[in-house]
Homo-oligomer: A and B are copies of this chain.
Amino acid sequence: MMKVGFIGLGNMGGPMARNLLAAGFPLTVHNRSPAKAEALAALGASVAGSPAEVARASDVVLACLPTVRDVDDVFLGAEGVLAGARGGQVLADHSTVDIAMTRRVGEATRAAGASFLDAPISGGPKGAEDGSLAIMVGGDAEAYAKALPVFQAMGRTVAHLGPSGAGTTAKLANQLLVATGTIAICEAFLLAARAGVDLEKLHGVLESSWGASRMLGRNAPFILRREFGPSPAPVRNLAKDTAIIAALAREHGLDLPLAAAAERVYSELAARGHGEWDITAVLPFLEGGGG
C-alpha cells in the first residue's frame, strides 16, 4: 500500500489524517506544535521531525495549512518537503493559496522530478471528520490517478478540474460564492429585520425559495442567535480568500463587482480587529453603517 505523509494537523488536517489511518494507509505526520502529531501517533501514525523527513518516508505527501506563508515554509523552506522529495513522488497541497504560490511549489516539485497537485478542499471540519469533503484537483492526469485512492479516503466528491492551478481556481470560485452568499444573507436579514419581518419564519420560507443555499442553512442559526463572536469559520479566512480572488481577477483583466465588494467588506472587518469573529459578523458591521 502507498505510504502517505501528512503535514498540518489542524481542525481540517487532523481528521483528514485520521481518515487515512482508518483506510489502512501507512502514515507519517508532522505538525509545528508536536502535541497534535502525538495524538495521531496514538492511533498508529509515525511522527517525523520535519516536512523533509515526511517526504523521505512517503510516496504521496499531503499538506493542509492555514496561510500562504505556511505553504511557502512547509514546501520550500530549509527543512521543507522539497528538501526531501524524490523522482516519481506525488506532492499535493490541500491549502487554499493564491495561484502564484501554487505555481512556485509546482515548478520546484517538477524540478525535483516529482509531481505536484493543487487539491483544495471544501466541506469544513464536519466534512473532514466524516470523510465527505469535496476535493478539487489541478495537475497532470497521471499524478492524479496515483493519488486518487488517497483522496477518496478523505473526500466524497473528488474531481480533476484541469491543469496545475485548476484546483485552486475552483476552490476560489467556491469561496467567492461563500463570501458573497454570506454577505448577501446578512444584507437580506438586516433589511427584513428593519421592516418587522419575523426572522425565524423568514429563514423557513427562504429555505423553500430560490434564495436557498447551503450557506443559508449554515449562517441563519448564527444570525438568529446573534452569535457573531470567535468562530471556527472566521472572518480572516474570507478576508484572505477574497483578497486572492480579487488579485486573480485583476490578473485576468476582469472587473467582478461582487468579488470586489466582498473583498472590501471582509478586509475592512478584519482591519477593525474582527478577524477571529464568525463570517456572519458582517451583519453587526452593516448595522453600524460599516458597508
Contact = CB atoms under 8 A, between A and B. Distances in A.
A286 B254 contact: yes
Interface stretch (A57-65, A109-117, A169-177): A169-177
For this chain, the copies found in one complex come to 2
Contacts of A183: 180, 257-258
Contacts of A161: 197-198, 201-202, 205
B248 A191 contact: yes
Interface string A179-202: 011011101111110111110011
A210 B255 contact: no
Nearest to A209: B122
Interface stretch (A11-19, A68-76, A85-93, A260-268): A260-268
A191 B169 contact: yes
A180 B180 contact: yes
A255 B197 contact: no
A160 interface: yes
A258 B249 contact: no
A284 interface: no
A177 B185 contact: yes
A194 B254 contact: yes
B257 A209 contact: no
Interface of A: 99, 122-124, 134, 136, 138, 156-157, 159-163, 165-166, 169-170, 172-178, 180-181, 183-185, 187-192, 194-198, 201-202, 204-206, 208-216, 218, 245, 248-249, 252-262, 264-265, 286, 289-291
